[in-house]
């Protein structure tokens, strides 16, 4: 089959590799119908050292081609959504809805498991991992459903972890796909004021469609001042950080109200950050978030996607085939595309 590999920063190629096969009785073999490129794929695209080849992609919808003898919840021919972590669904963390900490699970494109930017994927622990979608592979809803793999679930996680509720004032840092879907999530959680910090008009316009009430294009001290002015002078009680770079963290600390929450879902590209008296401790600010257990949210978020009352798939503004994936990375890196859909 053909699959996408990254060979180093800026170096994405489509290779021909052996077809995946069932290896455990709990595996399923899934033919990928649609996948996509994630904003987080741009992190290795900027910094991966050369000298290795890493499979890519962690979001996909596909059709089960073959299911292992111990797989009982999906069968050959089912259209399934794969969340960005695979998990057993039965350990103490999965039962609590923290599938990203599954005791027996893991992540795509690591340790012998392929990535979603490919023609097919071996899915471990298929019963715990996959969710059947009640549509055909030609459904127009596929882009919307695909966001349940990661970006919509991740935006939802940001809002959940922050405890966004009725009447809340929320600041959203980052106008990427996750940021925009965090806007949608905050709106659906009842937030009244949603200030979106972002500089790309086409993106913040979509943010407005998803529910943002204010847009702040300024960054740094100017952006912080503007947000504070918009949120009663002392900042917002809930700040969702959907970028992962240090300036976004600094901005979050700057716009959060004393006693408020910063909920991070952008994978941090730093290990150390200010958390002392001057930043988090003094004003009793809570720092929360992490990789979203997207699997935990699929059943909850799917109905509104299926009935069309939300259209999270609007974040996709370009479609490519596998050969077009390297160009897709380039387009996302140059901000020419918000999020690229892949049809292998």
The residues of the shown chain that bind a second copy, judged by CB under 8 A, are 92-93, 96, 98, 100-101, 161, 234, 258-259, 264, 267-268, 270-291, 293
Q: By C-beta, is 295 or 318 nearer to a second copy?
A: 295
Q: How far is the CB of 65 from a second copy (least distance, A)?
A: 32
Question: Given the complex with a second copy, which of 73 and 286 has the nearer CB atom?
Answer: 286
Radius of gyration of the chain (CA): 20
Tokens of 307: 């009935």
* Kind plus residue range of the DSSP H or E element containing 253: helix 246-255
Query: How many angstroms separate the CA atoms of 332 and 339, rounded?
Result: 7
Q: Check if the beta carbon of residue 149 is closer than 8 Å to that of residue 79.
A: no
Measured between alpha carbons, how far is 30 from 24 in angstroms, rounded to an integer? 14
Residue 25 or 258: the one with the smaller Cβ distance to a second copy is 258
Residue with Cβ nearer a second copy (207 or 291) = 291
Q: Give the residue with the Cβ less far from a second copy, 207 or 293.
A: 293
Per the CB < 8 A criterion, the answer to whether 72 and 137 are in contact is no
Shortest Cβ 157–a second copy spacing (Å): 9
Q: What one-character DSSP code corresponds to residue 40?
A: G
Alpha-carbon span 132 to 317, nearest angstrom: 25
Encoded tokens for 196: 């979106």
- Give the other-Cβ count within 10 Å of 197's Cβ: 31
Least distance between a second copy and beta carbon 285 (Å) = 7
Q: Work out how close the CB of 184 gets to a second copy at its nearest, in angstroms, rounded to a whole number.
A: 21
Residue (100 or 117) nearer to a second copy, CB: 100
Q: CA separation (Å) from 235 to 107, 213, 223, 255?
A: 36, 15, 12, 5
Show the tokens assigned to 99. 């599938």
Residue 40 Cβ vs a second copy, minimum distance, rounded to whole Å = 11
Q: How far is the CB of 282 from a second copy (least distance, A)?
A: 6
CB nearer to a second copy: pick between 151 and 320: 151
Beta strands 193-197 and 169-173: pairing type? parallel
- Residue 21 or 103: the one with the smaller Cβ distance to a second copy is 103
| Smallest separation, CB 309 to a second copy (Å) | 29
What is the rounded CA–CA span in Å between residue 234 and residue 257? 5
Least distance in angstroms from the C-beta of 273 to a second copy? 5
Query: What's the rounded Cα separation, in Å, for the pair 189 and 29?
Result: 36
């Amino acid at each position: 089959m053909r699959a996408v590999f990254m060979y180093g920063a800026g170096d994405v190629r489509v290779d021909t590799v052996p077809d995946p096969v069932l290896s455990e009785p709990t595996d399923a073999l899934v033919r990928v119908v649609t996948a996509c490129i994630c904003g987080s794929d741009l992190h290795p695209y900027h910094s991966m050292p050369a000298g290795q080849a890493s499979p890519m992609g962690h979001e996909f919808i596909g059709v089960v081609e073959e299911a292992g003898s111990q797989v009982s919840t999906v069968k050959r021919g089912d259209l399934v959504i794969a969340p960005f972590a695979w998990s057993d669904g039965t350990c103490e963390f999965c039962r609590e809805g923290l599938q990203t900490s599954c005791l027996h699970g893991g992540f795509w494109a690591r340790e012998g498991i392929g990535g979603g930017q490919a023609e097919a994927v071996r899915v471990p622990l298929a019963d715990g991992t996959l969710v059947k979608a009640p549509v055909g592979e030609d459904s127009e809803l596929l882009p919307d459903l695909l966001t349940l793999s990661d970006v919509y679930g991740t935006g939802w996680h940001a809002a959940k972890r922050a405890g966004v509720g009725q009447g809340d004032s929320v600041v959203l840092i980052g106008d990427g796909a996750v940021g925009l879907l965090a806007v949608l999530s905050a709106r659906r959680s009842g937030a009244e004021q949603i200030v979106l910090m972002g500089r790309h008009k086409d993106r913040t316009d979509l943010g407005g469609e998803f529910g943002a009430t204010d847009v702040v294009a300024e960054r740094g001290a100017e952006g912080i001042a503007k947000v504070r002015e918009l949120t009663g002078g002392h900042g917002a009680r809930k700040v969702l950080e959907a970028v992962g770079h240090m300036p976004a963290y600094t901005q979050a600390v700057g716009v959060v109200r004393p006693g408020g929450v910063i909920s991070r879902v952008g994978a941090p590209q730093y290990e150390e950050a200010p958390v002392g008296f001057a930043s988090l401790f003094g004003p009793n600010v809570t720092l929360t978030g992490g990789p979203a257990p997207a699997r935990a949210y699929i059943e909850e978020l799917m109905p509104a996607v299926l009935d069309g009352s939300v259209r999270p798939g609007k974040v996709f503004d370009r479609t490519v085939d596998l050969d077009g994936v390297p160009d897709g990375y380039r387009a996302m890196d140059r901000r020419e595309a918000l999020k690229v859909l892949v049809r292998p």
